Structure 1
Amino acid sequence: MRPITRSVATGLAILAFSTFTLTACAPAGTDTASATSLVVGAVTEPTDVPDPISDGSLAGYNYYFATFDQLARFDAEGVIGPKLATEWKHNADFTEWTFTIRDDAKFHNGDPVKASDVAFTYNQIKATPNGDPATYMEMFASAAAGPDNTVVFSLNAPFSAWPTITTGVSIVPESVYTKLGSAGFAAAPVGSGPFVFDHYTRGVEYVVKRNPDYWGEKATLETVTFKTVADADARLNGVQSGSLDVALIAPNQVAAVEGSQSVHIESRVSNGVTFLGMNATAGPLADQRVREAIALSIDRDAIVKSLLAGRATVDNQLVAENVGGFDPKYPAPVRDTDKAKQLLAAAGYNGTPIPFQYATNGRIPLSSEIAQSIQANLAEVGITITLQGTDQSSHSQMIYTKKAATGIYLNTYAPSTMDGDAPIASMFGGQWNDYAMLPETQALVAKTRTVGGQDRIDVYRELFALNDAKALLIGLYTPDASYAVDPDLNWKPRADGMITVDLASFGKD
């Protein structure tokens, strides 16, 4: 899954139903006990077509979780539980998993959700190798409908964390998807979730309406609009003015509105790590000593304390503290500018400019300021950095379509599966690019999937130690996620970073 950022980059789900008139959200400070419309300030939108089979972006997941169901689902605290599946079990070596599918779920067109639809969804992802979901399902071989409304998943290698993968796969109806194809389904998708699609205007908004026939707990909101607002100031102003009801804001904005009567702040540690990627084959970066010097020169503490107002945690691992694979005993990063200068001298670095690519808005709050801070850090040891800011969409395409990065780049990965497999497979298994992929890293990625518990964490530790030694990717920090919220809105942020709206409501008790 692409980062927030996935991630982890980021899709949409749409379903054509009759048009409706959207009731504007009530201005902040008014009586919203009877409000039925919610407006979310979305940081970005999916880069690709809004098809859950091919898109795995965080922006897309926000939409998909409103309109589709998954086999399992994390709760707000990151604890996994049943959704379309009522239970699951595995064989002795974790290569086969059997999920029992509930028998009372229906798609929005009235068709029942069958085990064959679940199997089709997973097999279709497998048949779409360039899609985002396929990149974190390398271990998946095939799915087949079994007896008693079950689905049997066959894996090509042991994988103890398979249930976490199922939390990110939205189930589509085989008959509709087969008839329409990817592009057609993106224009008129059918899900089984608590909301159905109404309309989507790229660059503007994605609108859903309540599903009165939902099999589970029915939503109280009649309509939800995900409005794309890339600028953090505009998002905060939107909540203050009442044009938005909830929106992610930058860390340095929190103090200004704490105690406000028109905005309530909800914060929690995120599940993502912001990091520097590097094209280890480009110019001076081809020399490991230059890459090591970069890692030693960055003042992570200053970034966290000054730029991010302390609302982040220094993190040189590539998974966050609340994500599977994190090692609480992993050594903290060290800044050593003297050693950095020695390495640069030994490498014969002569000041050749190194491009630094980053998005000027979108998934990483204060990205421009962070880039400038890192540029200043590197200048202290004699490294010349050329800043190359661009829009989020162009930056994401550079990373996720494997177009060559020209130097270093700023990125983030927040796996919605709450497990480290997706980010490390993407970074060190060659799914994004080959810059951080070595035979050794590939072998360690494969090894993480065969063990569980502390043994798995130990392998992650070995992988991150190798990454640090080779200076392939540079972990920077795990940010807190802070949201500006209408004071009358009942909504809490989730550990996986998604803005889910199925249980949101207006009217404080």
Structure 2
Amino acid sequence: MKLRTALGSPVSRSLAVVLAAGLLATACSSGSNSTSSSAGGGTLVIGYTADPNTLDPWKATQFQAEHLLEQVYGTLTQLDANMNVQPGLAQSWTYSNDNKTLTLHLRQGVKFQDGQDFTSADVKSSLDRLRDPATAAVAASYIASVSSVDTPDANTAVLNLSAPDAGLLASLANVNLAILSKDNTEQQVAAKPNGTGPFSYTSRTPNQSVTLTANPNYWAGKPKSSQLQFRIIPDESSVVSAMQSGNVQFAVLDDPTVAKTAQGSGLTLDKTPDLGYHVLQLNSRKAPLNNVNVRLAMQCAISRQQVVDTAALGQGTVIGPITSPAYKSDPNAQPCATQNVAKAKQLLTQAGYPNGLTITAIVSTGLYSTSVNEAQNLQSQLKAAGITLKLQTLDSAAYVDAWVAGNFTAAVALNGGSPDPDGMYGRYFTSTGNLNKVAGFSSPQLDQLFAQGKATTDPAQRKQIYTQISNYLTDNAVWIWLFSSYDYTATTSTVHGFTPMPNGSFDYLWQTSSS
């Protein structure tokens, strides 16, 4: 079917809306930000429960690493607090009539923190290396539609697309697609980050702290704090104690019990619904999870609401796979939307396990606070159906290594959400997705549906496609989606200016001061 491309037609309407929003934001932000005309004099100390496991933005999957690197690196687009696409290193953009060419008009006068000028050559170098399988970039699938990059001049980069890609502009805002200097190797970046962001890398003491210094030449204005120090503290209760004593001024908590304690102690608390999702990941390439009836039995044996009530004190919402607001899954549209232990036992018998079976699941400590409680609740519920969930508890670094390698049978996980569903799952559940090893599942049907979702820009049509994807994932119990929760931003009385975001990003730290 030929795609219509006249302005206002189904194909180009959403691209036109995004472009108009981007141009409007450009008019507001092309110069320095008047609210950030001078850097604050103090250091903002941030409590972290895990040491960032990498300084390479193209390899970061750990939340702590991503949040730190958001301060150092720039991306071609950005997301505002409402998850709308805004200009970043690209101050505006235009699409060709067929939506298969995206021309980025880059900011002028931007420099990397080593003093080198940012130009289109850096954009081309970064996107070319990101798409190279040898790089093993965790977000390579986000730009799979980019077939080549042209640089007609230093301030223009032209992305040639193999097909229209409705989620591309939102994807380009991810720190995993940060623009690196063409002169930096991955080894150099991993040792000493060099970006265009609001802060520059200063020093790191492993398992203790990472220090960043304000970049006075940041294109949007000078940061409010002169330094950021990410201080590693073993658990959230200890983070709150450090805040009470004045040694830490800022933290994002995910344990509702600790958050309640923080609020009761006089700290300011901001509760934000998170697009991220708690999930029991199942590796369908490993027995016995290669049997769909085993996976369905596990899905039927679990009350998702019980996991929320027990592990998160009821502070969460039962979900289906997709949490993107415009494409949100119906949590009841799946086999055994409510717990059915009898059905679970029946499915196990059909799978050839009438006497039950044992499955090992990895679970992290340090990455997020409710992980072990979730795992133990799942273990208890599955036991009632004859399924023994053997828990392998790993520290954050070991967990991330095993997770990225797909070296697990099951994994208790908290994964980040995205405003666009292709950004959430294209890299997981397509056969060529760079995190398909982590997903443990792909199929020709999913490949076809994801391709349709990327190429379709009409919102109503995209909604139908991603509903089909959501139903396919739950009908096959590919993973068991549990609930979405909240982020609790805790600050002392001296902290001002931070804006929480539904995707958990720390993008607004540069506008945050401690005085």
TM bucket, shorter chain: 0.7 to 0.9
Q: Using the alignment, how far apart are the partners of 1:440 and 1:229 within structure 2?
A: 45
Q: Aligned AA for 1:451?
A: T
Q: Using the alignment, how far apart are the partners of 1:329 and 1:387 within structure 2?
A: 26
Secondary structure of the equivalent of 1:212?
coil
Match of 1:320 in 2: 323
Q: Using the alignment, how far apart are the partners of 1:102 and 1:171 within structure 2?
A: 13
Match of 2:500 in 1: 493
Range 183-192 or range 65-74, more displaced? 183-192
Q: 1:34 to 1:109 in 2, by over 3 A?
A: closer
Secondary structure of the equivalent of 1:285?
coil
Gaps of 5+ in 1: 1-32
- 2:111 counterpart of 1:106: yes
Q: Deviations over 1:194-245 (max 9, x none)?
A: 2111112232221111122223221121110112334222222222222221
Match of 2:333 in 1: 331
Match for 2:243 among 239, 256, 280?
Answer: 239
Q: Deviation of residue 482 (structure 1)?
A: 1.2
More helix by share: 2
- 2:43 counterpart of 1:37: yes
Q: Deviation of residue 462 (structure 1)?
A: 0.7
- Contact residue 129 and residue 135 of structure 1 kept, 8 A: no
Equivalent pairs counted in the alignment come to 463
Q: Deviations over 1:111-151 (max 9, x none)?
A: 32212222222112123441213243322222221248211
Q: Deviation of residue 45 (structure 1)?
A: 4.0
Match for 2:198 among 176, 194, 199?
Answer: 194
Q: 1:269 to 1:370 in 2, by over 3 A?
A: same
Match of 1:14 in 2: none
Match for 1:174 among 170, 176, 182?
Answer: 182
Q: Deviations over 1:74-128 (max 9, x none)?
A: 1223222112212112224432211111213222233322122222221121234
Q: 1:479 to 1:69 in 2, by over 3 A?
A: same
Q: Using the alignment, how far apart are the partners of 1:255 and 1:279 within structure 2?
A: 36
Q: Deviations over 1:457-497 (max 9, x none)?
A: 21111111111121111111111111221122112322221
Q: Using the alignment, how far apart are the partners of 1:94 and 1:401 within structure 2?
A: 35
- Contact residue 43 and residue 248 of structure 1 kept, 8 A: no
Secondary structure of the equivalent of 1:258?
helix
Structure 1 segments of 4+ aligned residues over 4 angstroms from their partners: none
Match of 2:216 in 1: 212
TM-score by length of 2: 0.84
Q: Using the alignment, how far apart are the partners of 1:246 and 1:45 within structure 2?
A: 16
Match for 1:153 among 141, 159, 165?
Answer: 159
Map 1:71-150; keep pairs closer than 5 Å.
Answer: 71-127=76-132, 128-147=134-153, 149-150=155-156
- Contact residue 102 and residue 160 of structure 2 kept, 8 A: yes
Match of 1:409 in 2: 411
Match of 1:15 in 2: none
Q: 1:207 to 1:152 in 2, by over 3 A?
A: same
Q: Using the alignment, how far apart are the partners of 2:40 and 2:99 within structure 1?
A: 49
Q: Using the alignment, how far apart are the partners of 2:234 and 2:499 within structure 1?
A: 21
What is the RMSD computed on CA atoms of the aligned residues? Answer: 2.3
Q: Deviation of residue 266 (structure 1)?
A: 1.3
Q: Deviation of residue 502 (structure 1)?
A: 0.5
Match of 1:428 in 2: 429
Secondary structure of the equivalent of 1:73?
strand
TM-score by length of 1: 0.85
Map 1:8-27; keep pairs closer than 5 Å.
Answer: none
Q: Using the alignment, how far apart are the partners of 1:353 and 1:204 within structure 2?
A: 38
Q: Using the alignment, how far apart are the partners of 1:44 and 1:361 within structure 2?
A: 5
Secondary structure of the equivalent of 1:398?
helix
Range 71-80 or range 472-481, more displaced? 71-80
Q: Aligned AA for 1:264?
A: T
Match of 1:482 in 2: 488
Q: Using the alignment, how far apart are the partners of 2:103 and 2:236 within structure 1?
A: 44
Q: Deviation of residue 342 (structure 1)?
A: 1.8
Q: Using the alignment, how far apart are the partners of 1:347 and 1:125 within structure 2?
A: 42
Percent identity, aligned pairs only? 23
